[in-house]
Amino acid sequence: MASLKNVGRSLARCTLQSVARGPHIQSVRCRAAAPAVNVRPVDDEPAAPMVKTAIPGPRSKELLRDLESIQNSEAVQFFVDYDRSHGNYITDADDNVLLDLYTQIASIPIGYNHPNLMAVMQKPENLGHFINRPALGVFPPKDWAEKLRKTLLAVAPPGMSEVQTMACGACSVEHAQKALFIAYKARQRGGAPPTKEELSSCVMNQPPGSPDLSILSFKGAFHGRTMGALAVTHSKAIHKLDFPTPLWPAASFPELRYPLEDFVQENRAEEERCLAEVRDLIEIYQKKGRPVVGIAVEPIQCEGGDNHATPYFFQGLQDITRENSIGLLIDEVQTGCASTGKFWAHEHWNLREPPDTVSFAKKMLTGGFYYREQYRPKEGFRIFNTWVGDPAKVTLLEEVVKVIKSQNLVTNMANIGEYLQQGLKDAQTKFPGVVKNARGLGSLCSIDFNNSATRDKAILALREKGIHVGSCGDVAIRLRPTLIFQKKHADVFFDCFDSVLSSFK
């Protein structure tokens, strides 16, 4: 989203009482109320938003000037007082308290300053993980395998039992791609070792050691900002301008029409068209001498505009990978960790077999990727960097997993997601000339505005009322709440959203 630091603010506040809701919105949402789950409140979480100044306020602007003397800070929206942020609420440097439905770009799992995580930080037995950051690939802690079993393998995608940690989402995608390339060449060699020519030529970026291979991705995709991840990213020019990237195939991602139930045949035809394009591109690149070794796809194109496809499309993609003996990389960096009402979004697809690799980060606190056994490299140092992750983050994730399971937060996301989606659908019914295409999977929800200017005004207006949401694509706002988000928080959002949309009528 464009920088917001120079935009003026009013101090209008929306009422937080349920009686202030529009009658249509209120009645439908109440009928869709979610069953109760065991979500325990976070200590010190505010009862409601509170806006005291424009956002960014005087203190944020002062801090911005200071930061600008050190680095480019055009992306900064406001500065945060993380010590005073709690649960679902974020507090900025000017003491404004906002209900946060964007959560550090979808990366806060169980809220700010969760007491369980604060307790983990204070346990003497965990200090070594926080003080020391070992080079995990060569000098892992003695309890490393046990920690991986308690955390990442305890929530592994069905049918997957191997995992590699990494630091962030982009490097997770990068190294998952490397696993696809390694496995493809290993199959080609039929078990034989690399030749001397391959070993010498690869050092100088020359074939045959550096083969001309490719990974197919999708228009509108976002897989990260490092160079390999950029090769499969096609969402915004700002991500890719001036960087050399390989000429790899990019297929059309389905553009579904909403409401889905009214366009079943049209959407099936659109997905068939895109699957046919994938098949054609694989054949074209094979003839070019640049074979496709795998397909990289997001369950939902989040940065690209929250673009969805049906299980039929993803099942078709897996069929194509099997027909061509290539890999399927599912990028769950933003969609993983329970937000969609299942722990992994691809669980909604009923795939005939597990994916080949699944990348993760954000709410998982650590980066990394799961992989099937045939994608494990035979040599050390092939999937490697100094740290390959951080045991401190895995220690925190261990507690997050406990909270998710003990409070049934996957079910909470399914229930709250239904409530949020219904509220967005109600909004588009009430304001048809302003918003449209309400959609979501669990709590990972979005809605389109009729143009980008109105969308941007709505984001600013919501912030004035103490609601923090994110943008994506050209015209959408996206909701990315924590896993402990509840109906009462949704009602606060919808009160303010109704007020903002009413001002655009």
Q: Catalogue the active-site residues.
A: 222, 331, 362, 386
Q: With helix as H, strand as E and coil as C, how does 449-463 read?
A: ECCHHHHHHHHHHHH
Query: Do 302 and 309 contact (CB within 8 A), yes or no?
Result: no
Which token pair is 356? Answer: 């080949």
3-class secondary-structure state, position 138: coil
User: In whole angstroms, how far apart are CA 362 and each of 119, 189, 234, 333?
Assistant: 21, 36, 20, 6
DSSP sequence for 416-461? HHHHHHHHHHHHHHH-TTTEEEEEEETTEEEEEESSHHHHHHHHHH
Taking each helix axis as running N to C, give the angle between helix 487-503 and helix 409-430, from 0 to 180 degrees, rounded to the nearest 10. Answer: 20
CA distance 333 to 368: 9
Any idea which residue has 């550090």 for tokens? 104
In terms of residues, how long is the chain? 505
Which token pair is 505? Answer: 């009528």
For the stretch 408-440, what's the b/e string if a residue is b when 16 or more beta carbons lie within 10 angstroms of its beta carbon? ebbbbbbbbbbbbbbbbbbbbebbeebbbbbbb
Query: Do 445 and 479 contact (CB within 8 A), yes or no?
Result: yes
Specify which residues 250 forms β-bridges with. Answer: 217
Is the bond into 259 cis (omega within 30 degrees of 0)? yes
* Those residues with Cβ within 8 angstroms of residue 387's Cβ, 6 or more apart along the chain or in another chain: 133, 134, 135, 136, 167
For the chain, what percentages of helix, strand and coil (3-state, to nearest 5) are there? 40, 15, 45
Which token pair is 309? Answer: 């496809």
Which token pair is 276? Answer: 């046919």
Please give the angle made by the CA atoms of 501, 448 and 21, to the nearest 5 degrees.
30
DSSP sequence for 42-55? PTT--SS-B--S-S
CA distance 493 to 393: 31
Query: Do 230 and 239 contact (CB within 8 A), yes or no?
Result: yes
